Amino acid sequence: MLYLIGLGLGDAKDITVKGLEVVRRCSRVYLEAYTSVLTVGKEALEEFYGRNLILADREEVEQKADHILKDADVSDVAFLVVGDPFGATTHSDLILRATKLGIPYHVIHNASIMSAVGCCGLQLYKFGETVSIVFWTDTWRPESFFDRVKKNRQNGMHTLCLLDIKVKEQSLENLIKGRKIYEPPRYMTVNQAAQQLLEVVQNQRARGEEPAVSEDTLCVGLARVGAEDQKVAAGTLQQMCSVDLGGPLHSLIITGGSLHPLETEMLSLFPVPERQSGSQSAERLCT
């Protein structure tokens, strides 16, 4: 059996009892290590689970899935995913591969950012299509995701923005030369996402378009949802450029405009602090 097991969002103890029982009896246990991260490292998980974990990076999962599926038809293999197993399409692909090989599978669900984002008080049924915001480069600055933000806003729906994670990435030079040298991990912050969003807004205005979002659009920044040091801050998109939410992982919500009174009251619990460290330099980037 191939088991896909959600780990939740906080630390080692967020795994379900059912998931932990399966982990402890499997012949091999893989930890998917590129679509998300926990607030604790691999060693903390191994200590709590009482098992050695095999790190599975993007290349391993997407190009060498046969390594993970090997012998899963005659023994139990676990594939651990931060959040819920269906939080990334890659994991659906793994299930399809297993099915074609005649390997049975079982999914053990857990909390994901898609549901836990309700911690800020915005009502889940009022969320539209989720978007991803990626790190821009000097030559690649995609804006296509903004069309979905616009559509959500037109329908009065909130937009959850999942922010980019760069783990075990190679520079273009190392990739071309075939050198297995990797860049340090990078995790997009709410500040960086807000800065890119404001640049999209400015670009649209320069083209004579009317952007669906402005500097004054109400947004919510979230960090380390599900962890003990979770942070939430509600304010304008401009304010999101300078709010300090600490370490990864971050998410950003662009509200859909009209809020239910309960949503408004809940967001009032999470005001942006008036003074943020480094706010002046961040504000200069956003203006």
> Of 227, 182, 223, which Cα lies nearest the Cα of 44?
227
Consult the annotation and say whether 4 binds a ligand.
Answer: no
Q: Is 14 annotated as a binding residue?
A: no
Cα of 165 vs its chain's centroid, Å: 8
Strands 218-223, 250-254: pairing kind:
antiparallel
The two structure tokens encoding residue 248: 């990864």
Distance (Å, whole) CA 254 – CA 132: 12
CA dihedral 94, 97, 101, 106 (to 10 degrees): 30
Nearest to 51 by CA among 31, 23, 73, 10: 23
Give the whole-angstrom CA distance, residue 236 versus residue 239.
Answer: 5
Q: Radius of gyration (Cα) for the chain, nearest Å?
A: 20
Say if residue 113 carries a ligand binding annotation. Answer: yes
Q: Is 67 annotated as a binding residue?
A: no
Q: Which two tokens stand for residue 26?
A: 């499997």
Taken as a whole, the chain contains a residue count of 287
Q: Is 243 annotated as a binding residue?
A: no
Q: What is the DSSP letter of 100?
A: H
β-pair partners for 186: 166
Which residue type occupies 97? R
Task: Confirm whether residue 84 is marked as ligand binding.
Answer: yes
Which tokens in the block code for residue 211? 């952007």
Angle between the N-to-C axes of helices 190-206 and 146-154, in degrees from 0 to 180, rounded to the nearest 10: 80
Residue ranges for the known binding site are 9, 84, 87, 112-113, 163, 225, 250
Annotated binding-site residue numbers for S-adenosyl-L-methionine: 9, 84, 87, 112-113, 163, 225, 250
